[in-house]
């Protein structure tokens, strides 16, 4: 039985073969075509103006050197193509009354999106200072890539943008994230042909196997085949036409090619193609929605093959510029040093005939302004691109009802994430009508212990299925593809358009999206200071397969460094939680799902492990974020001899095991146990909004007593966070030291000297009053470590006294 016979993947009404739409037709009447061309010229004029002009915005007088900016920054090459796309999208939005947003993959085409949102009026509505007149034009031009002005990309400041496009590669994943659960939305996504070489973009073409034509919207990719990157050709432009067609067909798309450089022919071809694409999208959706037919369609896409730097200077200093890599940034780089460049610049600007486009006062002529869609149909004003406007609170079950039963500290647990699963299941269930919550992961929802989700939902999957497959359906709340980039990109797009979600991932492999996290955190930082941008739901990472329990995976899967990376970002954005047990995990996750505009990193275990806190105690502990565990401490009313601090589930276990040894063997020692759930509590309050004040920190950690700190991740992060604290020089941190392999759970801690025996020995080394008793105990623990090694080498498992250890202290 072949896959094809199981699931036909081509709708009868979608053509199986691509078409090239480069012939003239009669999709738009000549009068409209000329207006569309004029609008395009206006956008191109504004784009060149933004890159170059300091003054004289309407060229009312001959261009002088003083009219040109001193520092010329920006990217011209991609811009005319994006302007061309934007004006044509405007046309079809009006024609079909589309709910459409625009994602600019090569977001360095900032002049295009800024210029177009200015032309359609949204820019001036948000920034009244950039008015629709000559003075507004002058300011629009000056502010671009100018100190105190706006960035050169499709940045958060730009209305209609959900994707800055500074770091290339994520446009298509973001677009699909935006389209999920938005059945009436079409996301027009411009993909740079250079961007298409990145891994994330290359895998994102597969998103079409996850889109449900009934309950999701559509993505219309427009591959901008302008042939070049910065100084190289692009691969997709240097393979044969047939290869490119086959590649895109192989990804399951129906590509339509719009190719050429003659504006009139190109307008006609683009208009015809967009009509076909939109009608095809509608047919696919109607077919699916009226017949309940969710079979995977071959969605249309467009390949726009037009010259890089189209309509710009053709030859500069004897070298071809238009249609080459030389047009990528600023084609005329230094008019001050080359007077002939000033002349070329003026000719270039005047080639758009601004006097035909703008009236005397600098306003776009009314017949051209009328080409833009109206109100929230304008892509710069579409609420989906300012997701907080559409954000609705999740319906939340009471997390306390999912509590692990903790009769006494050390009660046996089933694995913290397994306790969380039913809570997330019910979040999915309660919000199934709102359709605004999804769980993303690279095929780890089951292995990360969230199996309960599949009691109420499925993995969304629109490719073929076979009888032994599990939990696959055309629609579902779980999104799984083995690409961390894809999961992250989808989730970001989903959040940016006003929905909620969780990304569950192996701790070691979340590093794959370090850079995407960076970009999202930057986006959140900037948007949190833009009053017109509404707050969105937080990006929640659940890292459930963590460094300490990679029993069958080993060294490659052991890396707790993501949080080192995360804490680099602005304190107002990042939060890191290490719940020590299941009830704390429930409390933390409830908080994260309700929070706004943060990146929350939650690290939790999935293996059976002791439970410490009742739900009531967990809620208090997590609300405070850090605290003394009085039931484990014996320093009540007296200054402690040592503080045993712990952060993370495994370090907490080892710390408590160490404390039980110390309390039994060195009963006079006064020990304080401090547990940290919210890592940011360690930073000074001046550095992080969660940070403890010095006085509170000193009360917990003392001003002068040794602190033995068992930490989940690399030890120096604790030093980095506490280096300003009074008692910093007494803080001795044990954590992951890059020692790993396939071994027993306890041996992992031994290899990294985070185990209970090393922790006890640390205390003996640092607390002189342990005296002779301490020296004897230390010798016994050294022997124990040898016994441990011999035992695991022989039995392949931890010693019974480790496996069956239970919390108990002499009363």
> Residue holding tokens 């276990």?
653
What would the x/- binding string for ligand TPP be over residues 462 to 481, using CB under 6 A?
--------------------
Q: Which residues contact 755 (CB under 8 A, 6 or more apart)?
A: 654, 746, 749, 785
Nearer to ligand TPP, 516 or 567 (CB): 516
* Centroid of chain to Cα 195: 17
Give me the least distance between CB of 323 and ligand TPP, in Å please: 12
Q: Is the dihedral angle over the CA atoms 599, 199, 482, 472 positive or is it negative?
A: positive
Candidate list 52, 141, 228, 697; residue touching ligand TPP; CB under 6 A: 228
3-state secondary structure of 569: coil
Residues 404 and 144: beta-carbon distance below 8 Å: no
Q: How far is CA 514 from the centre of its chain?
A: 9
In the complex, least distance from residue 486 CB atom to ligand TPP, rounded to whole angstroms = 16
Residues between 431 and 450 with contacts to ligand TPP, criterion CB under 6 A: none
Exposure b/e, 426-435, CB count within 10 A at least 16 = b: bbbbebeeeb
CB of 520 to ligand TPP, least distance (A): 14
Closest by Cα among 188, 272, 200 to 224:
188
Q: Is the dihedral of CA 485, 486, 489, 492 positive or negative?
A: negative
Q: Are 558 and 547 in contact (CB under 8 A)?
A: yes
Which range in 227-235, 523-531, 720-728, 772-780 contacts ligand TPP by CB under 6 A? 227-235
Task: Yes or no: say if 711 and 675 are a contact pair by the CB < 8 Å rule.
Answer: no
| In the complex, least distance from residue 573 CB atom to ligand TPP, rounded to whole angstroms | 21
Based on the shown chain and the rule CB under 6 A, indicate whether residue 488 belongs to the binding site for ligand TPP. no
- Closer of 180 and 325 to ligand TPP (Cβ): 325
Nearer to ligand TPP, 329 or 633 (CB): 329
The DSSP output letter for 146 is S
Instruction: State the nearest-atom distance from the C-beta of 224 to ligand TPP, in Å.
Output: 5
* Cα-based torsion angle of the residue sequence 656, 657, 662, 665 in order, rounded to the nearest 10 degrees: 150
- The least CB distance from residue 101 to ligand TPP, in Å, is 19
- Residue 580 CB-density burial (10 A; 0-12 exposed, 13-18 middle, 19+ buried): buried
- Least Å from the CB of residue 153 to ligand TPP: 9
DSSP state of 755: S
The one among 74, 106, 422, 651 contacting ligand TPP by CB under 6 A: 106
Bridge partner residues of 232 (DSSP): none
Q: Least CB distance from residue 165 to ligand TPP, whole Å?
A: 8
Single residue of 194, 252, 474, 498 touching ligand TPP by CB under 6 A: 194
Q: Which of 22, 44, 56, 78 binds ligand TPP (CB under 6 A)?
A: 78
| Closest approach of ligand TPP to the CB of residue 174, in Å | 14
State which of residues 164, 193, 212, 798 lies at the interface with ligand TPP (CB under 6 A). 193
Of 28, 37, 38, 30, residue with least CA distance to 94: 28
Spacing of C-alpha 560 from chain mean position: 19
CB of 198 to ligand TPP, least distance (A): 6
CB of 670 to ligand TPP, least distance (A): 55
Q: Does 358 bind ligand TPP (CB under 6 A)?
A: no
Return the residue nearest ligand TPP (CB atom). Answer: 192
| Contact of 642 with 766, CB cutoff 8 Å | yes
**3-class secondary structure, 673:** strand
How far is the C-alpha of 252 from the C-alpha of 545, rounded, in Å?
33
Instruction: Give, as ranges, the residues between 156 and 185 that touch ligand TPP (CB under 6 A).
Output: 166-169
| Contact pattern from residue 24 through residue 63 relative to ligand TPP, giving x for each residue in contact according to CB under 6 A and a dash for the rest | ----------------------------------------
In the complex, minimum distance from the CB of residue 171 to ligand TPP, in angstroms, rounded to a whole number: 9
Question: Could you tell me where the beta strands, DSSP code E, fall in 478-593?
Answer: 478-480, 500-506, 539-545, 574-577
For residues 518 and 566, give the distance between their C-alpha atoms in angstroms, rounded to a whole number. 8
Between CA 361 and CA 367, with CA 365 as vertex, the angle to 5 degrees is 160
Region binding ligand TPP by CB under 6 A among candidate stretches 73-81, 125-133, 451-459, 496-504: 73-81
Whole-Å CA distances, 263 to 234, 267, 278 = 23, 6, 22
Mark the segment that binds ligand TPP (CB under 6 A) among 85-93, 187-195, 694-702, 742-750.
Answer: 187-195
Q: Count the residues of the shown chain that bind ligand TPP, applying the rule CB under 6 A.
A: 22
Residue 674 has phi, psi (to 5 degrees) of -115, 130
* 229 lies in the binding site for ligand TPP (CB under 6 A): yes
Name the residue nearer to ligand TPP (CB basis): 160 or 192: 192
End-to-end alpha carbon distance in the chain: 69
Please check whether residue 537 is in contact with residue 500, taking contact to mean a CB–CB distance below 8 angstroms.
yes
The maximal CA–CA distance of the chain, rounded, in angstroms, is 99
Interaction pattern, residues 112-141, with ligand TPP; x per rule: CB under 6 A: ------------------------------
Among 35, 41, 108, 296, binds ligand TPP (CB under 6 A): 108
Q: Minimum distance between the CB of residue 674 and ligand TPP, rounded to whole angstroms?
A: 42
Among 3, 65, 230, 530, binds ligand TPP (CB under 6 A): 230
Q: Alpha-carbon distance 163 to 174, whole Å?
A: 7
Closest by CA position to 569, among listed 601, 531, 591: 601
Counting contacts by CB under 6 A, is residue 312 touching ligand TPP? no
Judged by the rule CB under 6 A, the positions of this chain that interact with ligand TPP are 75, 77-78, 106, 108, 166-169, 192-195, 198, 224, 226, 228-230, 234, 308, 328
């Amino acid at each position: 039985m072949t896959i094809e016979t199981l699931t036909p993947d081509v709708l009868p009404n979608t053509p199986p073969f691509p078409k090239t739409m480069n012939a003239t037709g009669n999709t738009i009447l000549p009068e409209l075509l000329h207006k569309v061309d004029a609008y395009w010229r206006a956008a191109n004029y504004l784009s060149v103006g933004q890159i170059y002009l300091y003054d004289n915005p309407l060229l009312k007088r001959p261009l002088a050197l003083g009219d040109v900016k001193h520092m010329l920054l920006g990217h011209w090459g991609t811009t005319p193509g994006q302007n061309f796309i934007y004006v044509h999208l405007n046309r079809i939005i009006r024609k079909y009354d589309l709910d459409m947003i625009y994602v600019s993959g090569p977001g360095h085409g900032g002049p295009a999106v800024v210029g177009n949102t200015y032309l359609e009026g949204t820019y001036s509505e948000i920034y009244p200072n950039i008015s629709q007149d000559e003075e507004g034009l002058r300011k629009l031009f000056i502010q671009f890539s100018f100190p105190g002005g706006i960035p050169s990309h499709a940045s958060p400041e730009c209305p209609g943008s959900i994707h800055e496009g500074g770091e290339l590669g994520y446009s298509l994943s973001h677009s699909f994230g935006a389209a999920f659960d938005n059945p009436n939305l079409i996301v027009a996504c411009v993909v740079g042909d250079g961007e298409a070489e990145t891994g994330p973009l290359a895998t994102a073409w597969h998103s079409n196997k996850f889109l449900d034509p009934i309950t999701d919207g559509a993505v219309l990719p427009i591959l901008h085949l302008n042939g070049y990157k910065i100084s190289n050709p692009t691969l997709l432009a240097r393979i044969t036409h047939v290869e490119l067609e086959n590649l895109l067909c192989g990804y399951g798309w129906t590509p339509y090619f719009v190719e050429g450089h003659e504006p009139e022919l190109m307008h006609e071809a683009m208009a015809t193609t967009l009509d076909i694409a939109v009608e095809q999208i509608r047919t696919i959706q109607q077919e699916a929605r009226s017949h309940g037919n969710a079979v995977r369609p071959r969605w249309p896409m467009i390949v726009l093959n037009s010259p890089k730097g189209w309509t710009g200077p053709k030859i500069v200093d004897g070298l071809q510029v238009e249609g080459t890599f030389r047009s990528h940034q600023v084609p005329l780089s230094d008019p001050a040093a080359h007077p002939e460049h000033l002349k070329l610049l003026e000719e270039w600007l005047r080639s758009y005939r601004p006097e035909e486009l703008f009236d005397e006062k600098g306003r776009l002529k009314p017949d051209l302004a009328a080409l833009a869609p109206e109100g929230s149909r304008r892509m710069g004003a579409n609420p989906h691109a300012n997701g907080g406007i559409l954000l609705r609170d999740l319906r939340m079950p009471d997390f306390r009802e999912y509590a692990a039963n903790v009769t006494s500290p050390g009660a046996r647990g089933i694995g913290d994430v397994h306790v969380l699963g039913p809570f997330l299941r019910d979040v999915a269930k309660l919000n199934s009508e709102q359709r605004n919550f999804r769980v993303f992961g690279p095929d780890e929802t089951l292995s990360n212990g969230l199996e309960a989700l599949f009691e109420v939902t499925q993995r969304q999957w629109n490719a073929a299925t076979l009888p032994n497959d599990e939990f696959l359906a055309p629609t579902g709340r779980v999104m799984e593809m083995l690409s961390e980039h894809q999961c992250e990109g989808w989730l970001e797009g989903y959040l940016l358009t006003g929905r909620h979600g969780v990304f569950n991932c192996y701790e070691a492999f979340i590093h794959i999206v370090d850079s995407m996290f960076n970009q999202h955190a930057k986006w959140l930082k900037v948007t949190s200071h833009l009053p017109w941008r509404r707050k969105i739901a937080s990006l929640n990472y659940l890292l459930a397969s963590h460094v300490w329990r990679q029993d069958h995976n080993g060294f490659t899967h052991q890396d707790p460094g993501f949080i080192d990376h995360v804490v680099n970002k602005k304190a107002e954005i990042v939060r890191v939680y290490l719940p020590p047990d299941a009830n704390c995990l429930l409390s933390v996750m409830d908080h994260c799902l309700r929070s706004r505009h943060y990146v929350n990193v939650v690290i939790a275990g999935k293996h059976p492990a002791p439970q410490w806190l009742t739900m009531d105690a967990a809620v208090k502990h997590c609300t405070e974020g850090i605290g003394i565990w009085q039931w484990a401490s014996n320093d009540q009313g007296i200054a402690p001899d040592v503080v045993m601090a712990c952060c993370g589930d495994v370090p907490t276990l080892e710390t408590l095991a160490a404390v039980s040894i110390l309390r039994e063997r060195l009963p006079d020692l006064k020990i304080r146990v401090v547990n940290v759930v919210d890592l940011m509590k360690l930073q000074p309050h001046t550095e992080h909004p969660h940070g403890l004040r010095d006085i509170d920190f000193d009360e917990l950690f003392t001003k002068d007593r040794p602190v033995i700190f068992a930490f989940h991740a690399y030890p120096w992060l604790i030093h980095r966070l506490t280096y300003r604290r009074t008692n910093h020089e007494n803080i001795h941190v044990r954590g992951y030291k890059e020692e790993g392999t396939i071994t027993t759970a306890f041996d992992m801690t031994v290899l990294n000297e985070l185990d209970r025996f090393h922790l006890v020995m640390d205390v003996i080394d640092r607390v002189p009053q342990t005296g002779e008793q301490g020296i004897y105990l230390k010798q016994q623990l050294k022997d124990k470590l040898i016994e441990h090694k011999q035992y695991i080498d022989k039995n392949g498992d931890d010693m019974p006294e480790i496996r069956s250890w239970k919390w108990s202290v002499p009363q």
